[in-house]
Chain A
Amino acid sequence: MTGPALQTESAVTTKQWVDMYRGMVAIRRFEEHVNELYTRALMPGLAHLYIGEEAVAVGVCSALRPDDYITSTHRGHGHCLAKGASPRLMFAELLGKEAGYCKGKGGSMHIADPATGNLGANAIVGGSAGIATGAAFSAKRLGNGRVCVCFFGDGAVAQGLLYEVMNLAQLWQLPVIYLCENNLYSEYTHTSECLAGDLLARPAAVGMRAESVDGQDLRAVYQAARRLVDSARNGGGPAFLLCNTYRYRGHHVGDINREYYRAKQEEQRWMAERDPIKRHAAWLIERNLADANTLQQIEAEVDAEMQAAVEFAIAAPYPGPDQVEKDIYA
Chain B
Amino acid sequence: MPEASTRELTFGEAIREAIAEEMRRDSRVFLLGEDVAEAGTPFKVLSGLVDEFGKERIVDTPISEPGFTGLAVGAAMTGLRPIVDIMFGDFATLTMDQMVNQAAKIHYMSGGHWKVPMVMRTTLGATRRSAAQHSQSLHAWFSHIPGLKVVVPSTPYDAKGLLKTAIRDDNPVVFFEDKLMYGKLKGPVPLEEYTIPFGVADIKRSGNDITLVATSSMVQVALGAADLLAGVGIGAEVIDPRTTWPLDERTLIASAAKTSHVIVIDEGYGRYGVTAEIASVIAEGAFYHLEAPVKRMGAMHVPIPFSPPLEDLTVPTEQAVFAAARELCGKG
Contact = CB atoms under 8 A, between A and B. Distances in A.
Contact of B76 (A133, A134, A164, A328): A134
Interface stretch (A96-104, A180-188, A281-289): A96-104
Interface stretch (B77-85, B122-130, B227-235): B77-85
Interface in B79-113: 79-80, 82, 97-98, 101-102, 106-113
Nearest to B62: A167
A131 B70 contact: yes
Interface residues of A, number: 45
A113 B113 contact: yes
A134 to B, nearest CB: 2
B78 A329 contact: no
A160 B110 contact: no
A141 B80 contact: yes
Given A137-B74, A329-B107, 6 more contacts: A134-B76, A137-B80, A138-B79, A161-B98, A164-B64, A171-B62
Interface in B53-88: 56, 61-62, 64, 66-80, 82
Contact of A133 (B70, B79, B112, B146): B70
A137 B30 CA distance: 12
Interface of B: 30, 56, 61-62, 64, 66-80, 82, 97-98, 101-102, 106-117, 146-147, 149, 170-171
Nearest to B69: A130
A165 interface: yes
- Among B68, B111, B171: residue with most chain A CB under 10 A: B111
Contacts of B106: 112, 120
Contacts of B69: 130
B67 A165 contact: yes
A139 B71 CA distance: 12
Given A120-B106, A130-B74, A161 B101 contact: no
A252 to B, nearest CB: 19
A101 B69 CA distance: 26
A114 B70 contact: no
Nearest to A163: B67
A168 B71 contact: yes
B78 A69 contact: yes
A196 interface: no
Interface in A16-57: none
B111 A134 contact: no
